[in-house]
Amino acid sequence: MAKVTEHLSNTQGKPVFSIEIIPPVKGSNIDDLLKSIEPMMELKPPFIDVTFHREEYILKNLPDGGTKEIKIRKRPGTVGICASILHKFGIDPVPHVLCGGFTKEETEDLLIDLNYLGIENVLALRGDYARPYNSFKAKKDGHFYANELVSQINDMNNGKYLHEEAEYLNASDFCIGVAAYPEKHFEAPDLDQDIVNLKRKIAAGADYVVTQMFFDNQKYFDFVNRCRAEGITIPIIPGLKVLATKKQLSVLPKLFYLDMPEAFRKEVDACETDKQAKQLGIEWCVQQCRELADFGVPALHFYTMSKSDTTLAVAKQIF
């Protein structure tokens, strides 16, 4: 087992292949998830990110005029999935650790479990809104910003826990990743402020960066150059998604606040079937990967949505 930064330093001038998977919905069997990973094992990804999805609620009206939260959806634990990946494939899992939905105490308990299992990498994120709310709400005695979460993880790496009275707690040794947004986070007023926020996370102890997906490489190139000009030196891994249907042309920009290059949009619009759009998405992503590799990226990180076919079609032409 190794840290993400160690994997990135052993690339011999070539980017490494990594993927991100989504936990199955509650009640599903992990076998389907593991089967979706198996085809990509021939490409030997050194690490696999495992997302953590917020719980979802409905608000039920009460007779007294108030409302009550009722939890309607929750995904299986990221810790268990990471342990399964570690056991079955011998690959470093990178669990997402969120601010949203956790107190500081619950975060510490989660990190202790990960450390106990020998998991050495985490991706520290603020997290999305919990539906049906339209703004982020931190849990009472939880973190509101990702840099605060990074600080807590870094404190544990230095042997500092929430309660000095706790016994038998050794220092952890997590490699900490954080997120960045080449087209800026949708809540940031501008990209300059977004980079300021990224620098806060790095100052708190982040070791590497993974970007949001993008379809225009120039956005990534410009972002990296601005970061370097601001003194950011840690690895910045590009995140990629292979377009698989015509519908994704309009859905992905809404979900992830990104732009589609005009040339790509026109080509997808001209496709008559999803099969044609998928092939075009594969070809576009292959070209993205080749340009990014020439730029010297440390890794090519694929958001698979737990489907292997399109990612595998691209990766086989690159790795």
Active site residues: 20
The tokens describing 173, both together, are 């040794």
97 backbone dihedrals φ, ψ, rounded to 5°: -115, 125
Residue 1: which residues within 8 A CB-CB, separation 6 or more?
Answer: 86, 92, 118, 120
Cα 259 to the chain's mean position, in Å? 19
